[in-house]
A and B are shown apart, each in its own frame.
Chain A
Amino acid sequence: MTTFAESATSFISSRPNSALRARAWSTFESVGLPTTTDEVWRYAPLSELDLDRYAVPATPTLTPQSDFAVALGALAATVVRVLDGFLVDIGEPVEGVTVDLNPDLTTLDGDDPLERYASDAFALANVALCPATVVVTVAAGTNVDGPIVIVHSANASASFPRTHLVLERGANATVVEYYEGGANAMVAPVSEYRVADNASLRLVTYQRLDPTAWHVARTTGLLERDGRLSQAVLGMGAHYDRSRNDADLRATGAENELRTTFFGSGAQVHDFRTHQFHRAPRTRSTLLSKGAVADTSRSVYTGLIEIEKGAKRTDARQTNHNLLLSPDAHADSVPNLDIRENDVVCAHASSVGPLNALQRWYLESRGVTRSDAERLMIQGFFLEMLDALPPALAGLVEGDVALALASVPVSA
């Protein structure tokens, strides 16, 4: 039986850029997996994580995609398929959109990824073990009709998808990243999104992995002048679901809207980390995190708004609402502010509590049972995230969310 390290070493030696990968791997080994004594990993069930249960695949395992992925694709402008991190289908050609594989492992800024991800073990593993970077570029001034769908299927026991989305100056696009599969697997994606001057990216990430999966994701938005990133992250699946979503608002007028939602059942843990970094004047960020935990599941939301000196007239808002659906469920909310400029508007609010009783009564007085009313309202957290999508596609995801929630006993 091969260990995870053996499979990694063999993978690295077979790929381009093996020197950089080997450096990333040895940094990963010296950094080591985090432990729960590390505050930012405090709630992760790390004692259950045994890397030797996983092996890095040399090639993707081909399997048919799910009916849902097929239906999603049918409503898309184009579908890019990624299997176990390997790009297997670049989709139909769309005017102004290119899909490439880049063996280079630098960041979108052209920096050394070992510096960017210096102490992040899973991101370092991604640098070492991703097959290549999947790069989707929307050319300057292009307005893409219909969403670009990226279907990530995890069939191997470990996969490290690496994605760069680039919207050039004035480009406009909607992208859906969908993750499925992942039974008894670890999926550790790293994504970066560059939104150039006056460009606009609406992004929906729908994580619907198997309930046995470990999902550790990291995304970074790089926002240029008047660039706009509207990002929705829906965490439904996985045993441990961690999503770190950062935005670097580096030029005047950049705007980031981030909405995250999750539903926890069984012994799931949803762990959301955000960092909105305002480095330029008149930048705006709004963050809304809304989720529900049932059974013995738990959620963690930790968000940092950081405003650099000189980022005058920045407007940053952060809101987190958690819903407890069982006495054994638990939600933690830790908003943080680090502000080094006076001329700013900054607000944060968080709450842990039950559903709005009057809204629930209103639905009941229409003849809906209490449990259905609660289910509809919790489902509503997710539905509110989908307004970037065309109605047909939103409807499809709504149906899938409803299906996922239907099997869970809900009682607020």
Chain B
Amino acid sequence: MNLETTVSKTLTARGQTFFWKRFKKQWPLHVFVGLGMVFLLIFAYTPMFGIIMAFKDYTIVTGIQGIFTSNWVGLKYFDEFVNDYRFIEIVRNTLALSFLKLIFTFPAPILFAILLNEVKNMAFKRLVQTVSYLPHFISWVVVVGIAFSFFSTDIGIVNNLMVKLGIIDKPLDILIGANYFWGLAVGSAVWKEMGWWTIIFLASIAGINPALYEAAQIDGAGRLSRILNITFPGIKGTIVVVLILAIGSIIGGGIGGSNFDQAYLLGNDINNSTSEIVQTYAFKVGLADGRFSYAAAIDLIQSVISVILIFSSNYIAKRVSGSSLF
């Protein structure tokens, strides 16, 4: 036995006893943390392993063990989804809703923040800002209730007013018409979340050096040109970070609130051809019809796309601008 191994062996042995000594001293902390780990194991990791049910013939009556004991069926359920007669429609709806929401809910808070920044009356600025956050904290259920008060064909005040003023002959079926669903979803998303995301852009604008504005003013730059040449470039980094967040979570709804909540709560039998998205379809197929493996397969396809989007948007942002989330 040579000297080196002897030394390293005694060191490891000492390291081990040292480890246990320290561990004994910290054991209450490990109990606290351990409780959290058990929680994650049950509520986060077991469902993750449960995803294998997408490749199996699973029935709910067999419980958790059934996930492991049921028969493998390979890609049967993935095949079934791709060949589902509603497949194209549902994928189209999911992508349309996701991208339309990104296109409108992403620029809105930036423009709103820039507008707010131009206001010199602090009381008015604070009032507008304070009110604009409020919808973020309201349940989507309430937002749908408000939409009902405004857009329903018989008591919606928007419809009533437009008919009264002679703009339209008869009320528009905004809440149930398939043609209106995307507009309704995007509009309510902007209404609910615009103010909330303004916070982060305003904070970023506040970080711009005021000397830049003074210098530009002396050089004769107008207000619009100051916005375009100072404010906008000054918050570019924040814009990129929020854009990564928004694209990474686009299938879930991005920064415009949950797609699932919107499609589920604003959707109904009549506008189903535009309101049914992958998440609501998986949900209905799974929990309402009890086809768990099929629903899990649909869910899995969507999760894989989401993960790819998160990592690729992050990668692109890193290459393009040097800022990234991780």
A binds B: no
